[in-house]
Structure 1
């Protein structure tokens, strides 16, 4: 079952234009709603320990909402999968903040191309202590802009129906919401990137 209408030729042309825009410069410097300075940059191979510490620090509820399953500790296979980015079809952007003179990962946004080359699936995760401070909005905006720039025309995510934070974030950016026809405990959010950028 199609998650969203196939993009028109005009929409494909519009998305394709973003492939030729200038490369954005990272790290991006930003501030949370309370003024805390952070940076957002692409995930790099030597960030493995940052990613492990970030996942281990998530509460069981946050892990369940992100991965739609329960686990006590992230497996090596899961870490390998999350670190597998090519900065094109699969990419991840981590948010970093300085706490007690140490740089820590406080959130991550990632996308991965689907079987339809014009679409990608996305996910946003924010550390429990850093939620409700505007970080999810910053990560999602960056993710949408990067996916559109890379030529994707549609973005989607599969989320727990109980994930109110993701529902609010998706609504803020204009995602369309529908129940997952294969699982009533999940919802599918989809966004037309061409329309969002036009």
Structure 2
């Protein structure tokens, strides 16, 4: 999948460039800044997760989770620009820059595959933000040599099903858990 032509305000030679960032227009006319996750985003990431609705948090972590442990937050913040990658979407709200979405992947033990996830703040859903975040993630996975990207999601998560379909992912029922779907894209 080729990224649509966007306003590139930094080097776009590689999606794995820590300084790369893009201003993305959304379907409602608003804009967000998308860039790789940085260590300085730790508090933003924590605040973002806390502000998710219980349903969105459940879909993101595939289970009920109230508090984010420091260990889990450490894991979410680990980005090496190859085997672990994350992009954040940032928007100005009330005079400060806040996280409104995140996409990420992590290499799996199976060669040339990575598992991905995308989460969009409840108030920012249905604007095309998930699509924008995933396009950057898919392009980076492809540039980094991955051959397959996949996601395991709750079968009840109809938003992710629609997003996966729109991005060309194939979806099957998880043979180990029928309450989940596996969305897979050959890169």
Please report the RMSD computed on the Cα atoms of aligned residues, expressed in angstroms: 1.2
1:53 matched residue in structure 2: 47
Whole-angstrom distance in 2 between the partners of 1:169 and 1:78: 26
1:76 to 2:65 alignment: no
5 Å-filtered alignment, 1:41-120, equals 41-120=35-114
Tell which structure's C-alpha radius of gyration is larger. Answer: 1
Structure 1 residue 85 displacement after superposition = 1.4
2:5 matched residue in structure 1: none
Structure 1 residue 72 displacement after superposition = 1.3
Instruction: State the secondary structure of the residue aligned to 2:152.
Output: strand
1:30 matched residue in structure 2: 24
1:191 matched residue in structure 2: 185
Whole-angstrom distance in 1 between the partners of 2:70 and 2:64: 16
Unaligned runs of 5+ residues in structure 1 are 1-20, 194-198
1:174 matched residue in structure 2: 168
Instruction: State the secondary structure of the residue aligned to 1:152.
Output: coil
The equivalent position to 2:126 in structure 1, one of 119, 129, 132, is 132
Unaligned runs of 5+ residues in structure 2 are 1-11
Structure 1 residue 117 displacement after superposition = 2.5
Whole-angstrom distance in 1 between the partners of 2:171 and 2:151: 10
Whole-angstrom distance in 2 between the partners of 1:66 and 1:111: 13
Q: How does the TM-score come out when normalised to structure 2?
A: 0.89
2:8 matched residue in structure 1: none
1:6 matched residue in structure 2: none
The equivalent position to 1:141 in structure 2, one of 107, 113, 135, is 135
Structure 1 residue 90 displacement after superposition = 0.3
Work out the number of aligned pairs and report it. 173
Whole-angstrom distance in 2 between the partners of 1:23 and 1:65: 30
